[in-house]
């Protein structure tokens, strides 16, 4: 499976989102809930995970 290009680092007001299904990564200042490529759920990688 090819590795998607990583748009990080995002600009100051943007956050990094990754699709859980296809691995597509996008930077956006707005919350992205579904992948524009495959329609699956996007995860915000800029938000720290609980320990």
pLDDT in tens, 2-47: 555 666 678 888 999 999 999 999 999 999 999 999 999 999 998 7
Going from the C-alpha of 25 to that of each of 17, 42, 51, the distances in angstroms are 6, 9, 24
pTM: 0.75
User: Which two three-digit tokens encode residue 24?
Assistant: 């597509």
- What is the count of structural domains for the chain? 1
Examine residue 8 and state whether it is found in any structural domain, yes or no: yes
Whose tokens are 């992948």? That residue is: 35
Q: What residues does 25 pair with on adjacent strands?
A: 18
What is the span of the domain harbouring residue 26?
1-37
Examine residue 46 and state whether it is found in any structural domain, yes or no: no
Q: What residues does 44 pair with on adjacent strands?
A: 17
Examine residue 23 and state whether it is found in any structural domain, yes or no: yes
Examine residue 17 and state whether it is found in any structural domain, yes or no: yes
Examine residue 28 and state whether it is found in any structural domain, yes or no: yes
């Amino acid at each position: 499976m090819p590795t998607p290009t990583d748009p990080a680092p995002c600009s100051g007001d943007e956050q990094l989102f990754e699709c859980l299904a296809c691995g597509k990564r996008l930077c956006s200042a707005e919350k992205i809930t579904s992948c524009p490529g495959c329609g699956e759920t996007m995860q915000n990688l800029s938000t720290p995970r609980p320990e």
